[in-house]
Structure 1
Amino acid sequence: MCSYKNYLQVAFGVVLGLLQGVTHAADYVDVLDLPARVSALAINSPLSGMARAGERVIAVGQRGHILFSDDSGKHWQQAVVPVSADLNAVSFPSATQGWAVGGDGVVLHSNDAGATWRKQLDGREIGALLVKHYGALASAEPGNEQWPLLVAEGERLVAQGADKPLLDVWFANERLGYVVGVFNLILRTEDGGQSWTPFQDRTDNPQGFHLNAIASTGDALYIAGEQGLLLKWDDAQQRFAAVQTPYQGSFFGVLGKPGEVLVYGLRGNVLRSTDGGLSWTPQDSGLRVSITAAIVDAQGDYRLFTQGGQMLVSQGAGAQMHWLQQAEPVPVTGVTRAANGALVVVGSRGARTLSVDKPSNP
């Protein structure tokens, strides 16, 4: 039976807990205003995206963690980041200038090869951007029914707050770039992120599907989305036009070379086109687990990674794929090629390097 002393201890603990709860509530800081905590364990925490900045390898992930390595992934340092929002993707069009995006609509910029970052945009501002941009178009074209709908979308974003994540980022150079995210959220900059223009009216995505990834194949720019959505930049129309594909599941990424493109996604589905997306051939990956990252390696071969840790290799053209057994398969969410030709991958267990062995003949 509990003694009176035990009851007092329990009661004191309850009161102390309540007081601490009040203190924590008073001390709450939004993740968009809270710098990422420096931690020796950051390299082993979940990481989501990767990029190369010259010779440097950059990785981004949960709680605002950004890490960089100057020796092809052997040793890592943690960058100075002004937010604690989860980060999903990173793009470096040059050795020094880079952008990262993630939760709560955050856009970060670095001008020192990823060592330090500053916030350019977040979800608290994006809704107002839409209202201002499409409100001006509605005033200029009062008969266009599209503009009031997009103004209303911006007003909803303002009312809902900063809760819409950006999922990917791509920059052609140090000035021109795009960020994409949930519910057809897409913004374009032509001045290195100093200003952003909403591009919702420039996508063939009337149902507002999520935009999961944006990537260039060298001769075309694609956006991959959910429920079979695939968009391709049409320079003549100045918009992302819909590309018809034979698969209606979600796509998670696009990669390719001039004259060839692969799009990949749920349940091991991979499609290949050699005519600019006019026709597609399903590729037999031999797997039924989602493909979540891919890269063209130093030899020009495609390497695709799954959430189960498998690696698929397609030598030369992407017409045939072979499964390359991994000694310790772990989920992969991002991959890049290091300066020495090795592959560096990230996932739920942090970062690691992989060999680039050739697959055996099937």
Structure 2
Amino acid sequence: MRHSSFKLAALIFGLSAVPLSLLITTEAQQEPAAAATEAGAAAAPVESTSEAAPEATAESGGEPAAAEAVAKPIVPRPSEMAVRAVNNPLLRVVNTGKHYVAVGVYGHILISADGTKWNQVASPVDVMLTSVTFADENNGWAVGHDAVILHTADGGETWKQQNFQPELNKPLFDVLFLDAQTGFAVGAYGLMLTTTDGGSSWAQVAANPVTEDERHFNALAKLGDGSLMVVGEAGTIGVSADRGLTWTKLATPYESSLFCVIAAGEKGALIGGLRGNSFFSADVRAGSWKKMQTNSDQSLFGMAALPGDKVAMVGLNATLLIFEPGKPVHSVPIIDKLGNRQTESLSWLTMAPDGGLIVVGDAGVQRLDAAKF
């Protein structure tokens, strides 16, 4: 799906059938999906659609048999190489341990050795990529709209398609791998896919009590004790203590959308969502959450751990907040080259080699000096 103009509020968690900006600009709970999850086994295999299925033919004459005709699956187009891809909207950036990788609109994938000079690499899809993660320096996965999943085995230099299901109309919003074999991808209407073979095959997790009402899953994290945590629409929070085999739905401190989560301590987490709402818990299973005084009404999309137990959060309208234990939340203004305060929204961030920040969002990728925060 091509877009002529972009706002981050309409990109990250939008669905083609819904007015996109409404999904993250209101406190009202979104309506659950109309279609119910099909009852059945806990994991239903997802068939690969990377190769076109052959047409059915009649037994005689070699002509197609109408009754047995098989529709050809949609095959994605590769992303176009863009001169200014680094300035187009990007939704996620990660440090692989070897270099940096960022993903975004039109299937764009960019890599950088230092976080300053970026090069676009070929991508097998032109749909929006919403998240990327690496299990080690070489093995990484990117996910996005049309339930697309891409894999790289060379640190992001080349990518291959593992999954593509536009017929689901369920974009994937986040991906997490525990090692080079075991991973999870989550998205709209409670979609959760899992793999135990590095993505060679993916299975859809059904009968999940966390998403029995088909709320959107927006973000995944691994907690300090090894547990997994997922957050999403309408305050959805779920945890798994057995590497994703079973999940438990937890009570929420907030009844509207949560967009990001990061581990804190052994059993705790920090979560963020709509209108600047953020909460901390030292033990998520205990259900005791403390509301963070962000002094902001801008929705929060991404988090990154900083030295000294600090956490940085980014969101709408160039929001950058710094959380530091025992101190008030600090807001950092982002100034553009003309000396004006930046207004483009930010989606994610990671540490730069010099201790600064690499942030991505509406304006692409940019570096922030460590002295500013």
TM-score by length of structure 2 reads: 0.74
Preserved CA contact (<8 Å) 1:293 1:304: yes
2:64 corresponding residue in structure 1: none
1:193 equivalenced with 2:199 (yes/no): yes
Aligned partners of 2:235 and 2:254 also within 8 Å:
yes
Ranges in structure 2 where 5+ consecutive residues have no aligned partner = 1-72, 337-341
- Is 1:207 the counterpart of 2:213? The answer is yes
1:227 counterpart SS class: helix
For the residue of structure 1 that corresponds to 2:284, the secondary structure is coil
Equivalent residue runs for 1:1-362 within 5 Å: 32-71=75-114, 73-123=115-165, 161-219=167-225, 220-235=227-242, 238-259=245-266, 260-278=268-286, 279-316=288-325, 320-328=328-336, 329=342, 330-357=344-371
- Structure 2 counterpart SS, 1:67: strand
For residues 143-164 of structure 1, the C-alpha deviation after alignment (integer angstroms, 9 at most, x for no partner) is: xxxxxxxxxxxxxxxxxx1522
Aligned twin of 2:42: none
* d(CA) in 2 for partners of 1:74, 1:208: 40
State whether residues 98 and 155 of structure 2, in contact with CA within 8 Å, keep that contact through their aligned partners in structure 1: no
CA contact (8 A) 1:107 1:120 kept: yes
Distance 1:174 1:60 in 2: 20
Tell me the secondary structure at the aligned position of residue 210 of structure 2: coil
User: Aligned residue for 2:51?
Assistant: none
Residues 357/201 of structure 1: CA separation in 2 closer, same or farther (3 Å cut): farther
How far residue 85 of structure 1 moved from its aligned partner, in angstroms, is 0.9
1:27 alignment partner in structure 2: none
Pick the structure with more helix per residue. 1
Kindly provide the CA deviation profile for residues 104-161 of structure 1, in whole angstroms up to 9, marking residues without a partner as x.
010000011111100001115xxxxxxxxxxxxxxxxxxxxxxxxxxxxxxxxxxxx1
* Paired residue secondary structure (1:120): strand
C-alpha deviation, 1:31, in angstroms: 8.2
- Cα contact 1:305–1:312 (8 A) shared by 2: yes
Change (3 A) 1:350 1:248: same
| Contact 1:184/1:211 (<8 A) preserved | yes
Equivalent-residue separation in structure 2 for 1:299 and 1:282 (angstroms): 21
Q: Match of 1:257, as an amino acid?
A: A
Taking the aligned partners of 2:102 and 2:75, their CA distance within structure 1 comes to 19
AA in 2 matched with 1:272? F
Q: Computing the radius of gyration over CA atoms, which structure comes out larger, 1 or 2?
A: 1
What per-residue deviation string (whole Å, max 9, x for no partner) do you get for residues 158-197 of structure 1? Answer: xxx1522111101111111100010110011111001112
Q: Which has the higher contact order (CA 8 A, sep 6+)?
A: 2
d(CA) in 1 for partners of 2:240, 2:309: 24
User: TM-score scaled to structure 1, two decimals?
Assistant: 0.76
Change (3 A) 1:236 1:87: closer
Shift of 1:280: 0.5
Distance 1:65 1:236, change over 3 A: closer
Q: Is the contact made by 1:202 and 1:238 (CA closer than 8 Å) also made in structure 2? A: no
> What percent identity do the matched residue pairs reach?
32
Amino acid at match of 1:47: L
What is the CA distance between 1:358 and its match in structure 2? 6.8
Contact 1:302 1:316 in 2 (8 A): no
Aligned partners of 1:184, 1:229: CA distance in 2, in Å? 10
For 2:223 and 2:353, the matched residues in 1 are separated by 21
Superposed CA RMSD: 2.1
| Cα gap change, 1:193 to 1:236, in 2 (>3 Å) | closer
Note if contact 2:93-2:349 (Cα within 8 Å) is conserved in structure 1.
Answer: yes
Indicate the SS of the match to 2:106.
helix
Change (3 A) 1:203 1:197: farther
Structure 1's 87 and 236: CA in aligned 2 closer, same or farther, altered over 3 A?
Answer: closer
CA distance in 1, matches of 2:307, 2:243: 33
Cα separation, partners in 2 of 1:314 and 1:202, compared to 1, 3 Å: same
SS state at 2:207 partner: helix
